[in-house]
Amino acid sequence: MDAELLLDARAVLGEGALWDASRRRLLWVDIEGREVHIFDPAGGDDVAIDVGQEVGTVVPRARGGLVLGLRRGIALLDPASRELTMLADPESHLPDNRFNDGKCDPAGRFWAGTISHRRQPDAALYRLDPDLSVRRVLEGVVNSNGLAWSLDARAMYYIDTGTHRIDAFGYDRDTGAIRNRRTVVDVPDAMGKPDGMTIDADGMLWVAHWGGGRVNRWDPGTGRLLSTVLVPASRTTSCAFGGPDLATLYITTARTGMTAEALAAEPQAGALFAVRPGVQGLPAFEFAG
């Protein structure tokens, strides 16, 4: 399968694709461009909101508005007024780190991790609960990325790109506790590094592979590769099912760090891509706070 160009956005570091099912729009971010994007696939409009600092992730809030992971912490954004409200900055002592990928769990908690630009295991995974308290739930992280929960809500899948693996934890929906980390896929280097991730209605994982120009569908039960969507931009960063039938896979890409020669070979780097792979996704969870 091949992904097709949807929006030639030229994002520096396109990331964080998430379908906002309540409002039928695709949320995504340009981390290094410091923008939250709201894309309407029906009309083709893409609205960019400059948030003034690197933004690693965006999720919808059930009561309206958005929750962001920023360079300097977790914040609420009112997209109409563009007002930012900072909630917490748990790594103010680590100025080289910033928030990266994040997602809400089945109980409406917002999980977001950080990335160490020194590539040291001093990053972490955090959880923002509906009462707006923040806790550190996993330490020793290098580059916190994809998150997904199993259909029965008993497992949480997690990618620390620094490990080149897809891992799983036992997950307790009532308390949000995670335990018993295990590896479900060891990703071969030739496929690129595992980055963003989503889950489909069959419980299979779709993973964007940075440097691999692809999104792979993996079976977390067997570790087997099931299928591949090729993307004409090697820095493939995240993916999300969306559209009215949740059957379109939206894919973000990046052009950061590429030479002029590499960009000439991949002129669509930084674009949004889409493909209809023949399976459906699940609606993303919203922040319940």
Q: Residues with catalytic annotation? A: 195
For Ca ion, the closer CB: 120 or 256: 256
For Ca ion, the closer CB: 91 or 195: 195
Is the Cβ–Cβ distance between 46 and 270 less than 8 Å?
no
Give the nearest distance from C-beta 76 to Ca ion in angstroms: 22
Distances (CA, A) of 24 to 35, 39, 56, 139: 20, 9, 21, 35
Copy the structure tokens of residue 214.
């692809």
Q: Which residues fall within 8 angstroms of residue 116, CB to CB, at 6 or more apart?
A: 94, 96, 97, 122, 123, 141, 142, 143
For Ca ion, the closer CB: 252 or 268: 252
Residues 60-99 that bind Ca ion (CB under 5 A): none
Q: Alpha-carbon Rg of the chain, whole angstroms?
A: 17
Binder to Ca ion among 20, 91, 101, 160 (CB under 5 A)?
101
**Rounded Cα distance, 157 and 141, in Å:** 15
Number of residues that bind Ca ion (CB under 5 A): 3
Give the nearest distance from C-beta 210 to Ca ion in angstroms: 7
Q: What are phi and psi of 91, to 5 degrees?
A: -120, 40
Residues 177-216 that bind Ca ion (CB under 5 A): 195
Binder to Ca ion among 145, 216, 236, 253 (CB under 5 A)?
145
Q: Which residues fall within 8 angstroms of residue 207, CB to CB, at 6 or more apart?
A: 146, 159, 166, 187, 194, 195, 196, 197, 215, 216, 217, 218, 239
For Ca ion, the closer CB: 195 or 266: 195
Copy the structure tokens of residue 202.
């069959």
Determine the interface stretch with Ca ion among 100-108, 122-130, 182-190, 221-229 (rule: CB under 5 A). 100-108
Copy the structure tokens of residue 98.
């910033």
For Ca ion, the closer CB: 195 or 200: 195
Q: Does 268 bind Ca ion (CB under 5 A)?
A: no
Give the nearest distance from C-beta 77 to Ca ion in angstroms: 19
Give the nearest distance from C-beta 101 to Ca ion in angstroms: 5
Point out which residues bind Ca ion (CB under 5 A): 101, 145, 195
